[in-house]
Amino acid sequence: MPVLADPNRRIRLTLLIFLLVFAAVIAKTVFLQTVRADELSAQASEQQVKEFQYPARRGTIFDRNGRELAVGEEAKTITADPYYIDDPLKTAQFLAPLLKVDSSAILEKISDRSQSSSVILARKIDPAVAQTIDDAKITGLWISSEEKRVYPQKQVAAQVVGYAGVDNQGLAGMELQMDGVLSGTGGSQKIVFDPSGKQIETLSLVEGTRGQDVTLTIDQSLQFEAEKILTDTVKQWSAKGAECIIMDPKTGEIYAMADAPTVDANNFSQLSDEQRRNRAVTDNYEPGSVFKSVTVSAGLEEHAVAPGQTYHLPPALELGGFTIKDAVDRGPVDWDLGQILTHSSNVGAVTVGMRTGDQKLYDWILRFGFGAPTGIDFPGEATGIVSSPKDWSDSTIGNVPIGQGISVTGIQMAEAYATIANNGVAVKPHLVKAVGGQPVGPAESHPVTSEKTALQLRTYLQQVVEDGGAPLAQIDGYHVAGKTGTAQKPLPDGSGYSEENYIGTFIGMVPAADPQLVVMVMVDEPHPFGGGSTVAAPAFQKITQFALQKLEIAP
């Protein structure tokens, strides 16, 4: 009788096989519940629980009157989980025209179903587009809210405001300067999904906090008008560019800081570094004759020259192998300081500089703030270049007093004239008026010259405008004090000065007796040739007249 034919043996063999299978199941269960318990739990959680991060909401940037310069608008992020997407090709073809990307790029992201982590398909999309996608009810796609930075004034103050990147981080201008204040904290949300990708419940929700608002000293209407006039000036003179600063000399507040050509802040990320720059703060240039006011101030403070005293000025001076002469040929004259400034005499300014002396002139240049940052609350401020007297050649005293061989920034020049306007007291220029609704403290200030010297300079600068030096800067009903400047631009190789490219400048203060405004206008490379009195002074007159009316400053 065969072994397997024995019924008892068959029963025992079947029982043995059953016991072995049962033992294997038990062993597998124990293995899964102990050795791989944490791993499997994590995988299960990853498939069922998704955590979504929500970027922080950024504070708003306002102008001084509450007009929005930079705001956050609602936008949407489209996220996909390839694990839940049933038909990747069809999904990619549906999304491509809505997200304005190639379908193959989307397909590549959502085709790998073995991938358990989510992928972002698009950010900062219009809520209406997101609604269209949501209405399609595609399993495996999730839509979350975020914030998109928008600049409603477009080109107005674009180089000042700057911009924030895709992650709402400040990357330029005041967006960068005040990033720590404007930035809030992000939030998060954990959601449980069933195996089909349907939302079951919310496990946790962490609310983010919005950043603080920042109010600038900028006046949107003054900024707009300044940019418009600068743009017209650049077009009229086929210039490379132009800049303007409108400043309160008593408080240091900047009402306008304009550049031309202008740019649209909403396209800031697509612009070159050249187009983005706020040149009044970041660019160095040789100032030319507007610097003569600093030279005369130094001479007066050192008692090297005196009001009412005349100085014999030959047609030219020979210094270090170079000839210094005035822009207009003339014979020998006897001029006082007012006439030297009115006629913008190079020989006269150099004479004042020589009487003051190399070291003392240098010391006063530093005291006026040149060669160092003003400390304005704006990133990337240039310092200018002021060489020490130990590095001066025999001809340097023939250059520096007239604004050559020295480089400055627009904000440095504006602050120097604001010091004269403010009776010799320098106030730090600034762009932030309030943070989180709280006004910032008063700006730092320190004396530079005596009040007597500042008053005397204003008298001379008023003569410049009213006695023929800058007639195009005159404003009906107001006394204007100011100075022109026409500076040759240095050649790129440093071998000398261009015979074709100039910078024309006018800086003025008004009303002259008690200045409420200092306005600087600089025009870069006007063509055909035009000096500060013909190129910059008319723009100054238009901008300042508008500002006086807008701010209701009485004559």
DSSP 31-94: HHHHTTHHHHHHHHHHHHEEEEEEPPPPPPEE-TTS-EEEEEEEEEEEEE-GGG-S-HHHHHHH
Q: Which residues sit opposite 484 in a β-bridge?
A: 506
Judge contact between 384 and 436, C-beta under 8 A: no
Q: How many CB atoms lie within 10 A of CB 344?
A: 26
* 179: its two tokens: 């990033």
Residue 9 three-state SS: helix
Q: CATH for 220-265+279-550?
A: 3.40.710.10
Q: What is the pLDDT of residue 107?
A: 80
Mean pLDDT of the chain: 87
> What DSSP state is assigned to residue 475?
B
Domain 50-216, architecture per CATH = Alpha-Beta Complex (3.90)
Higher-confidence residue of 30 and 440: namely 440
Q: What is the pLDDT of residue 1?
A: 47
Q: How many CB atoms lie within 10 A of CB 302?
A: 16
Mean pLDDT of 374-388: 96
Query: For the chain, where do the domains classified as CATH 3.40.710.10 start and end?
Result: 220-265+279-550
* Cis peptide upstream of residue 511 (ω within 30 degrees of 0): yes
C-alpha pair distances (Å), 197 with each of 50, 95, 122: 10, 19, 20
For residue 341, the one-letter residue type is L
Query: For the chain, where do the domains classified as CATH 3.90.1310.10 start and end?
Result: 50-216
Report the share of the chain in percent with pLDDT over 90.
59
Report the interhelical angle of 346-356 vs 358-367 (nearest 10°).
100
pLDDT tens profile 82-108: 777 778 788 877 888 888 888 777 787
Q: How many CB atoms lie within 10 A of CB 267?
A: 14
Judge contact between 244 and 279, C-beta under 8 A: no
Least confident of 189-193, 330-334, 373-377, 409-413: 189-193
Indicate the pairing of strand 445-447 with strand 481-490. unpaired
Is 365 a residue whose pLDDT tops 80? yes
Cα dihedral 226, 229, 230, 232, rounded to 10, equals 160
Give which of 116, 50, 43 is closest to 85, Cα–Cα. Answer: 116
Q: What is the pLDDT of residue 363?
A: 97
